[in-house]
Amino acid sequence: MPVISAPQAFNEDDLYVDLEGIFEHPLFLKCEGFNFAGSIKLKAATEMVETAERDGLLTPDSVLVESSSGNLGVALSVIAANRGYRFLCVTDSRCNLATRMMMEALGTQVRVITEPDPVTGFLGARIDHVRALCASAERYVWLNQYTNPSNGMAHHRWTAPAIARRFPDLDVLFVGAGTTGTLMGCARYFREWHRPVRVVAVDAMGSVTFGGAPGRRMIPGLGTSRRPPLLDESCVDDVVRVSEADTIRACHRLARRGFLFGGSTGTVVSGAMAWLARQEGREPTAVAIAPDLGERYLETVYQSAWVRDLYGEDVLDPGALTLASQAA
């Protein structure tokens, strides 16, 4: 049993769910939500803060400021509270109420952007607000998860090696694409590994990360309204785009078997199953990274009225949710 004195010192890094009994294809889901921040973002937040401390960018008078759709904001709130920093999180109206309340409970000042930029959407509006804050006073320190190399380095150091140790015969890895820190860190690690591994990025429809026209996205986490500066497409073998309706179906299908995961995880699982369904021959050894758990989505993804209002009456059709369970 570990004994810790700082919340970021604990992260369950070796828990996987075998999804073959729930979906059509074998897939091991690496669960990253079992820490005090509730998501994989605790790794990136820890790495970015510790690097900023080593580089002398943070002082007792500093105010951390970051743009986040939710999970990184919570992770930085945890670390800021533990280390005595003030933190201002700039989010937008899509951020779940539970996430905002959790940040505030940890002492974070939360600023909600309600109007998207006409070209770059909510992400652009959030970043513009952060830049204005930093220009107004030197005490504001922006770690900038969108360009900070420590974002990807956290997963090159921790996430990918943990997967490699557990699955030495890994064939394919599915990673959701947001800032692309997790994606790039894992992809670069497996490019250097002793055997080839296909790295498949899973993106939300309406995201412009890998090109295409921007569209409505109501579930925070994956996808962007501007190309992530961290992204190097040469490290990615395939891209799968997932509609939010399919994200919701995957989340509910998992919940019907007792696994309550977040929207980002539902997107990754749905994309992984779509990719695996197109493959011929033997089933590959496949792992997908589950960035978060589902408690913060109870008022959205798991709220039937919210889902039906946005996506229609047939999204939660019982047949689509129980088919795999019956087959198992």
Rounded to whole angstroms, how far apart are CA atoms 69 and 77? 13
Output the pLDDT for position 280.
87
b/e 206-224 (16+ beta carbons within 10 angstroms → b)? bbbbbeeeeeebbbbbbbb
Segment among 110-119, 133-142, 256-265, 287-296 with least mean pLDDT: 110-119
Pairing of strands 28-31, 16-18: antiparallel
pLDDT digits 0-9 by tens, 244-301: 999 999 999 999 999 999 999 999 999 999 999 999 888 999 999 999 999 999 999 9
In sequence order, what DSSP letters do the residues of 32-57 get, joined into one string?
---BTTSBTHHHHHHHHHHHHHHTT-
Segment among 117-131, 162-176, 183-197 with least mean pLDDT: 117-131
Over residues 155-182, the mean pLDDT reads 97
CA angle 240-244-249, nearest 5°? 95
Domains of the chain, first to last? 7-35+149-321 (3.40.50.1100), 41-142 (3.40.50.1100)
pTM of the model: 0.92
Output the pLDDT for position 326.
30
Is the pLDDT at 41 greater than 70? The verdict is: yes
